[in-house]
């Protein structure tokens, strides 16, 4: 036993001399998480990160069998789902973890928004977080097409059409997005490249930055807690917070395998570019509020194409969200900023109502 411990210690020392493990351990030991009535929201970021890691793991496994061409994509996924041992499990977990990850990213962003955690000096943490959410949506959009089934094909056709509404550059941008004038095998190949190489590369950079900033700046305490003068309490990140995080992750794994077993990812019918679009084409749930809003807009608003006005409004909304740390001057000065709380509530209510309407409205209406 003693011999075993001394061997481990030797390895530790060997590594420590070369890469400096001691400072990292010291940093981890020093890291603390504030404890107050809103502490639960601190777990959301870790949960999103965990689901992202699940996506990387399952995504790499899917790569082994997936073939990115219009001729083989559907068949390769079909083979994976039927003939590859646990292929169904890996794909279903990838499918459900993607949805849960985006949901958790939304929850994380909303909690940060309401806790005003974007206040100085955490503006860059907020910026990188909003970019990571946008990347998660892009991951979802590009990944949706890859099985090359009917629903994904037509949803992608509708989704990419939005790019074409921009004046002057629309046609060019549409061709870039699709790799041609229509959604074809060329679109599939470039979506694949974006999904497995470009987005992960950009994602790792911003994720690294985000985590570095969180590590450097520590957890933000909401102004209401800070100003209440209650005794400041904290718990060690390692092991206290980490063990609690791990419980959440295990619950997530249990949820993922349950969803995979009872609601495995569907494959549907292979895409046929010459077939008529099936009724009730709907995007993934996280795009539903935008999709439904664009459907509700009149053909023209003040002489401008309605769809263009809608897309521009969403783009401005994104820019507004991105710039919140600079726009919310009161919060930056440590003063109450109820306006931004109410704006947050309004945006959240709008997204929830539009999503609900999108799923319940008459498809023919």
Partner 1 sequence: MNRNMTLAAVVAVGLVLCIAPGLFAQDSSDMCIECHRALDSEPLSRQVEQFEVDIHAAAGFGCVDCHGGDASIAGPGGMDPALGFLGAPGGEEIIAVCGRCHSDAEFMRQFNPSLRVDQEAEYWTSRHGQRLAAAGDTAVATCADCHAPHGIRPASDPKSTVYPPNVASTCGRCHDDSARMGTYDIPVDQNEKYARSVHHEALVEGGDISAPTCNDCHGNHGAAPPGISWVGNVCGQCHAVMADQYEQSRHAQTFVEMGMPGCATCHSNHEILEAGDSLLGLGDGAVCAACHTEGDPGGSAAMAMRAGIDSLTVEIDEATAVLHEAEQAGMEVSAAQADMKDSNSALVMGRAAMHSFSPDAVTEALAPGREIAGASLEKGQSALQDLRVRRMGLIASVAIILVLILALVLKIRQIGSGPADSPGRA
| DSSP-derived secondary structure letter, 68 | -
Out of 244, 308, 309, 330, the only residue in the binding site for partner 1 (CB under 8 A) is: 244
107 token code pair: 């929850």
Beta bridge partners of 275: none
CA angle at 349 for the pair 51 and 223, rounded to the nearest 5° = 75
Say whether residue 229 binds partner 1 (CB under 8 A). Answer: no
E strand spans, the chain: 32-35, 233-236, 300-301, 304-305
- Interstrand relation of 300-301 and 233-236 (parallel, antiparallel or unpaired): unpaired
Q: Between residues 38 and 175, which has the closer beta carbon with respect to partner 1?
A: 38
Does residue number 346 form part of the binding site for partner 1 (CB under 8 A)? no
Of 15, 269, 277, 349, the one binding partner 1 (CB under 8 A) is: 269
Distances (CA, A) of 213 to 206, 226, 241, 329: 10, 21, 18, 21
Binding of residue 26 to partner 1 (CB under 8 A) = no
3-state helix, strand, coil in the chain (%, to 5): 75, 5, 25
Q: Is 33 left (phi over 0), alpha (psi -120 to 50) or beta?
A: beta
Interface with partner 1 (CB under 8 A), residue total 34
Residue of 289, 291, 256 lying closest to 99 (CA atoms): 256
Q: Is the dihedral of CA 62, 63, 69, 75 positive or negative?
A: negative
Q: Of the two residues 243 and 364, which places its CB atom closer to partner 1 in the complex?
A: 243
Q: Which is nearer to partner 1, 250 or 319 (CB)?
A: 250
CB of 259 to partner 1, least distance (A): 10
Contact code string over 164-203 relative to partner 1, x by CB under 8 A: ----------------------------------------
Stretch that binds partner 1, among 105-113, 175-183, 267-275, 279-287 (CB under 8 A): 267-275
Report the DSSP beta bridge partners of residue 234. 34
121 binds partner 1, rule: CB under 8 A: no
Candidates 63, 64, 247, 304: give the one binding partner 1 (CB under 8 A): 247
Q: Is residue 72 at the binding interface for partner 1, with CB under 8 A as the rule? A: no
Shortest CB 267 distance to partner 1, Å: 5
| Rounded Cα distance, 46 and 52, in Å | 10
List contacts with partner 1 (CB under 8 A): 32, 35, 39, 78, 81-82, 88-89, 231-236, 239-240, 243-244, 246-247, 250-251, 253-254, 257-258, 261-264, 266-269
């Amino acid at each position: 036993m003693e011999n075993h411990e001394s061997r481990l210690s030797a390895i530790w020392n060997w590594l420590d001399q070369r890469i400096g493990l001691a400072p990292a351990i010291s940093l981890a030991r020093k890291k603390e998480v504030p404890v107050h009535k809103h502490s639960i929201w601190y777990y959301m970021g870790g949960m999103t990160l965990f689901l992202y890691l699940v996506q990387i793991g399952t995504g790499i496994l899917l790569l082994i069998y997936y073939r990115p061409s219009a001729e083989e994509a559907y068949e390769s996924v079909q083979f994976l789902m039927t003939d590859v041992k646990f292929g169904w499990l890996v794909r279903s977990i990838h499918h459900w973890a993607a949805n849960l990850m985006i949901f958790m990213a939304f929850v994380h962003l909303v909690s940060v928004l309401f806790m005003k955690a974007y206040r100085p000096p955490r503006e860059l943490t907020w910026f990188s977080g909003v970019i990571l959410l946008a990347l998660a949506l892009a991951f979802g959009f590009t990944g949706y097409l890859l099985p090359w089934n009917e629903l994904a094909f037509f949803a992608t056709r509708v989704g990419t059409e939005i790019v074409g509404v921009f004046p002057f550059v629309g046609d060019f941008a549409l061709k870039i997005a699709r790799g041609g004038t229509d959604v074809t095998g060329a679109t599939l190949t470039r979506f694949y490249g974006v999904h497995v190489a470009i987005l992960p590369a950009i994602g790792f950079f911003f994720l690294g930055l985000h985590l570095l900033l969180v590590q450097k700046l520590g957890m933000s305490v909401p102004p209401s807690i800070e100003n209440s003068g209650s005794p400041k309490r904290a718990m060690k990140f390692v092991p206290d917070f980490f063990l609690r995080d791990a419980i959440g992750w295990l619950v997530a794994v249990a949820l993922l395998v349950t969803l995979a077993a009872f609601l495995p990812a569907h494959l549907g019918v292979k895409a046929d570019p010459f077939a008529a679009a099936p009724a009730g084409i709907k995007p993934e749930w996280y795009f539903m509020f935008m999709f439904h809003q664009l459907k509700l807009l009149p053909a023209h608003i003040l002489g401008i194409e309605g769809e263009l006005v809608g897309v521009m409004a969403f783009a401005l909304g994104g820019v507004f969200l991105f710039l919140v740390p600079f726009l919310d001057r009161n919060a930056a000065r440590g003063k109450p900023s109820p306006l931004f709380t109410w704006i947050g509530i309004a945006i959240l209510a709008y997204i929830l109502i539009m999503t609900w309407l999108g799923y319940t409205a008459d498809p023919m209406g």
